[in-house]
């Protein structure tokens, strides 16, 4: 057990209203304390150090030259040649800028998207591969060695409205996307054409991303990435291996993997869903996925669409979109902010309790639905005789008794094991009263950072005393010092959760 306490609050010293949309820790940083914050025309890079008198140090500030720019997202990578830290930032102008933070300036730009960019992710196994989702309805895969587009995921089976979020499967073989069309899609990188496109992507031309090429590379960026001068045409992938619009009824603005399960949230909905897509995530060259090179023939897609909801993580005060939750690197803690400036934390070790609660909740809902149908049927058949009228009255009494019985069952179920099967989340309160747009964890889970609409960012530390009495809160959360990606444990959890789902299916019959 450890406590997360508020340590730092930093506000942008400007009269111009600026929203911070994204915060991202550098997981390539060996000391786990470097992170970036973006919003408006600003990029801030900061480092946390509890051993120094000034524990938070803003090491770099970048102000975009384009007056129209409004930065929505950022992602960390490393220089594939020299190992320097690279920060990709993008937003309204649809241009991805690569900042070499060792020198503090933009060294390259990626151009090709036709609309604002909402989120970016780096491949978990190859930091030279960058994914971006755009309002132009496409998801692009870029090679940071060559600064060229490798693949474009769009077309007949792609998003019909702007994709908003993306996340990579830990295996690196699949990624999931979600968007304003209410859909969630899973895409494969395992098909022969995709494997060939990635492996054939040139790795020697224009690969210098270090400070030595800062001035010349910026001038060459546009021509390097144009389709006319590309050394290899980007592959177009028309069809995902899974697609559904049935999970949510609004913009799906955040998606994250939990093993082979997915966590998603939609606009105007103060809950995060954990669910299982009905698709086998097995890398195979014999895939049914249709991938076609630009101009090539299209084929029939055999993608899946079924899913099973496992549980819900509920919170309050959230009726807007573009609010992104975070998952710790070890996949043990889930966090989100809301419009009231609060942060909610869930221990994923309690996921079975949330699943059990969801199963029972749905079982009772099904009972109510069956009763209502039976009541309607009785009303239709009990209209002609007084005898049937008396039966109707008796049915009402019985229904009331059944209601009380079901309420008692629900009450006893929720009250089981002392504190109840649905455990309440930990809430990190503070003096913040602004909408928290994104929450993120450091790799070792020692730090939580959150960014807000009022141009401020807030940092909490595990197991430390707070600073500043007006904003301190000693909320506790289970804290595990283990920070490895134990994918096998997560998969075992997923299997057990599926057993719960099977039980629920039997209860519905």
- What digits encode the pLDDT tens for the residues 238-287? 999 999 999 999 999 999 999 999 999 998 888 999 999 999 888 765 44
How do the domains of the chain map onto residue ranges? 2-10+19-356+423-488, 357-422+489-508
For 192-206, the pLDDT digits (tens) are 999 999 988 766 334
For the question of whether the overall pTM of this predicted structure is more than 0.85, the answer is: no
Q: Determine the Cα–Cα distance for residues 493 and 320; give it in Å rounded to an integer.
A: 32
- Dist. CA 417–CA 442, nearest whole Å: 33
**Secondary structure E strands in 71-155:** 71-78, 85-91, 96-100, 105-110, 117-122, 129-134, 139-143, 148-153
Fold of 2-10+19-356+423-488: Methylamine Dehydrogenase; Chain H (2.130.10)
Across 248-328, where does the E strand assignment appear?
252-258, 261-266, 271-277, 291-293, 307-314, 326-327
**Is the predicted pLDDT of residue 290 greater than 70, yes or no?**
no
pLDDT tens column, 31-52: 889 999 999 999 999 999 766 6
**For strand 148-153 and strand 235-237, is the pairing parallel, antiparallel, or unpaired?**
parallel
If pLDDT is split at 50, 70 and 90, which confidence band does 418 have? very low
> Residue 423's pLDDT is what?
80
Determine which helix (DSSP H) or strand (DSSP E) holds 35, and give its type and residue range: strand 34-39
Nearest to 19 by CA among 483, 453, 394, 330: 453
């Amino acid at each position: 057990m450890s406590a997360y306490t508020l340590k730092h609050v930093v506000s942008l010293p400007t009269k111009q209203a600026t929203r911070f949309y994204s915060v991202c820790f550098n997981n390539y940083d060996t000391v786990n304390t470097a992170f970036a914050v973006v919003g408006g025309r600003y990029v801030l890079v900061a480092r946390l150090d509890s051993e120094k008198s000034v524990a938070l140090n803003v090491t770099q500030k970048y102000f975009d030259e384009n007056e129209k720019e409004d930065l929505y997202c950022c992602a960390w990578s490393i220089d594939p040649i020299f190992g320097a830290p690279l920060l990709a930032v993008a937003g309204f102008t649809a241009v991805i800028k690569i900042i070499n933070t060792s020198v503090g300036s933009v060294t390259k730009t990626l151009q090709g998207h036709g609309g604002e960019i909402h989120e970016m992710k780096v491949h978990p196994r190859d930091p030279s591969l960058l994914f971006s989702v755009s309002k132009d309805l496409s998801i692009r895969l870029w090679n940071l060695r060559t600064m060229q587009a490798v693949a474009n995921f769009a077309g007949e089976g792609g998003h019909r409205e702007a994709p908003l979020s993306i996340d990579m499967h830990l295996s690196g073989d699949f990624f999931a996307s979600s968007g304003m069309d209410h859909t969630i899609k899973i895409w494969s990188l395992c098909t022969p054409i995709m494997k060939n496109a990635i492996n054939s992507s040139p790795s020697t031309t224009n690969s210098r991303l270090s400070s030595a090429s800062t001035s010349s590379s910026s001038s060459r960026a546009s021509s390097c990435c144009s389709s006319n001068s590309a050394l290899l045409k980007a592959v177009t992938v028309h069809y995902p291996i899974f697609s559904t619009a049935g999970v949510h009824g609004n913009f799906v603005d955040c998606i994250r993997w939990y093993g082979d399960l997915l966590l998603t949230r939609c606009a105007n909905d103060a809950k995060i869903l954990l669910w299982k897509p009905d698709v086998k995530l097995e890398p195979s060259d014999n895939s049914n996925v249709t991938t076609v090179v630009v101009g090539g023939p299209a084929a029939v897609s055999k993608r899946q669409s079924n899913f099973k909801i496992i549980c819900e993580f509920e919170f309050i005060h959230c009726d807007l979109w573009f609010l992104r939750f975070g998952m710790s690197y070890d996949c043990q803690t889930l966090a989100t902010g809301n419009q009231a400036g609060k942060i909610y934390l869930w221990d994923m070790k309690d996921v079975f309790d949330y699943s059990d609660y969801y199963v029972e909740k749905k079982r009772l809902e099904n009972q109510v639905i069956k009763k209502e149908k039976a009541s309607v049927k009785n009303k239709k058949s009990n209209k002609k005789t007084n005898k049937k009228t008396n039966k109707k009255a008796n049915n009402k009494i019985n229904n009331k008794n059944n209601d009380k019985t079901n309420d008692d069952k629900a009450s006893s179920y929720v009250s089981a094991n002392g504190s109840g099967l649905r455990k309440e989340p930990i809430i990190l309160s503070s003096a913040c009263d602004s909408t928290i747009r994104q929450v993120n964890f450091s790799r070792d889970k020692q730090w939580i950072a959150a960014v807000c609409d009022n141009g401020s960012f807030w940092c909490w530390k595990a197991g430390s005393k707070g600073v500043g009495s007006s904003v301190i809160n000693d909320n506790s959360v289970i804290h595990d010092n283990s920070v490895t990606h134990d994918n096998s444990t997560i998969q075992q959890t997923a299997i057990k959760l599926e057993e719960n789902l099977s039980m629920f299916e039997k209860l519905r019959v």
